[in-house]
Amino acid sequence: MGNRTSVPSRSTIVLDKVDGDLELGRNVTVKASASPPLVSVSGIIHCEGHDVFDCSVSAESLEAEENVAVNGNFAVKDKVEVEDGGLNVAGDLTARDVDVDDRLQVGNNLSAEDVEVGGSLRVDGNVKVEDLDVGGTFEAAGDVSADRIDVGGSVRMRSNCHIHNLDVGGTATVAGGKIDEIDVGGTFESEKPLEFENIDVGGAVRLAGKSKGGDVDVGGSFKVDGDLDFERIDVGGTVDIGGQAQGSRLEVGGSVSIQGSLKLSETLEVGGRANVNEEITARAVEVGGRISARKIVAEEQVEIGGSIKTDDGVNARLVEVGKDAEVYGTIRAERVIIEKRGRVENIHGGEILLRTGACANNIYGRRITIESHCEVSGEVQYTEDLKLGHEVSIAKQPQKVINLPNV
């Protein structure tokens, strides 16, 4: 067995190098004889609690009961373990594993493989870890690099972060960077541009600047102050994007507001209301409530359950206007179906069908079918065929033409 140096409780000792283990009673103060002040322990440090190292320390391991303070740097080859207390390191803390029951505070940088803190963790410098598990709160002033961070309460990162997996039970605020997997029970906010793969948040999300990522699942609200590139967004409440938005698929149960344009390679599905200041382009658009945009262009189809309002019209292969739904702006499509009592303005298409009781301003198409009790307040022009039901009201006599007007 190695040597062992023991220091009684309530005493002060001056050391340089300890060959073997160092045992401290309660309320011991350790000072260094060397300059700069450093105590090197080749073995394990055992602390009964409330001990203070008024210097930097290096050791094989630390085993402590209750609180320990190091007024300098603390370098440990193996493990730091503090039971029923906390650890306060004024400088850098480096170790393989760190396990602190209560509070861990590091005045400069923290570097370790695995860190487990039962209470709170505060680091005033950079954090570089593989696995970080905190029961309460985690706060870092410098850059954070980690494979996995799991925090039961709240997280605050004030500088750039590079994290593979972030799991927070309450709230998380970061300063931007890259986080692959984000899972937060409450709210998540990035104050600068963020790159991500997946966001899964039960409450609210707010991103700043031009962010880029993959899938977003949010139970409440999702707000982006700038532009956003994404794969899929699924939000139960509201989506508010302050710039341009580009992605694959957007599904919103409540409302959507986008200040720029929206470009999707797949589908836009909105259960409530959507307002896009510029153009919407997508493979398909399905709206249960209301949607407004300067222009809507769909590669395949547009389905409207409530209403659509555009300045430059709706363009698609197929446009279906639901029962009692309304369209303000021109419809341009190869096939147009207006269900019962639907109300539209101008239609320009190939095959056009107005179901019973539907209303339109002007209709231009190759083959047009207008069922009974429909009303057209303007003109009807067709190139091939026109079928009219009973009691159809058309303000002007329908015309068969060679070429349709460009409307």
Q: What digits encode the pLDDT tens for the residues 64-105?
A: 999 999 999 999 999 999 999 999 999 999 999 999 999 999
What single DSSP character describes residue 343? Answer: B
CA separation for the pair 364, 406 (Å, rounded): 9
20 domain residue, yes or no: yes
Residue range 279-294: mean pLDDT, rounded:
93
Residue range 334-339: mean pLDDT, rounded:
97
Query: Among 64, 82, 107, where does a domain finish?
Result: 107
pLDDT for residue 2 is more than 80: no
CA separation for the pair 202, 221 (Å, rounded): 9
Tell me the average pLDDT of the chain.
Answer: 95
pLDDT for residue 277 is more than 80: yes
How many separate helices (H) and strands (E) can be counted in the chain?
A: 0, 55
pLDDT on residue 395: 96
CA separation for the pair 151, 405 (Å, rounded): 64
pLDDT for residue 1 is more than 60: no
163 domain residue, yes or no: no
Residue range 167-190: mean pLDDT, rounded:
95
pLDDT-derived band at 365 (thresholds 50, 70, 90) equals: very high
CA 72 to chain centre: 38
Per-residue pLDDT tens over the stretch 28-45: 999 999 889 999 999 999
pLDDT on residue 159: 95
> Whole-model pTM?
0.88
pLDDT on residue 253: 82
386 domain residue, yes or no: yes
pLDDT on residue 126: 98
pLDDT on residue 406: 75
Query: Among 52, 82, 107, where does a domain finish?
Result: 107
66 conformational bin, left if phi > 0, alpha if psi -120 to 50, beta if neither: left
Query: Among 107, 122, 143, where does a domain finish?
Result: 107
Choice between 271 and 182, residue whose per-residue pLDDT is larger: 182
Per-residue pLDDT tens over the stretch 175-184: 999 999 999 9
pLDDT-derived band at 407 (thresholds 50, 70, 90) equals: low
CA separation for the pair 274, 122 (Å, rounded): 42
Task: Give the range of the structural domain holding residue 325, as residue numbers without chain letter.
Answer: 314-407
pLDDT for residue 171 is more than 70: yes
Domain count, the chain: 2
56 domain residue, yes or no: yes
pLDDT for residue 16 is more than 80: yes
225 domain residue, yes or no: no
H/E element holding 397? Answer: none
Number of CB atoms found within 10 A of residue 299's CB = 15
CA separation for the pair 374, 3 (Å, rounded): 101
Residue range 232-252: mean pLDDT, rounded:
91
243 domain residue, yes or no: no
Handedness of CA 278, 279, 285, 290 (dihedral sign): positive
pLDDT for residue 248 is more than 70: yes
270 domain residue, yes or no: no
pLDDT for residue 236 is more than 90: no
CA 396 to chain centre: 55
Choice between 234 and 86, residue whose per-residue pLDDT is larger: 86
354 domain residue, yes or no: yes
pLDDT on residue 261: 97
For the ranges 113-122, 138-147, 398-407, the lowest mean pLDDT is seen at 398-407
Handedness of CA 257, 258, 261, 265 (dihedral sign): negative
Choice between 150 and 239, residue whose per-residue pLDDT is larger: 150
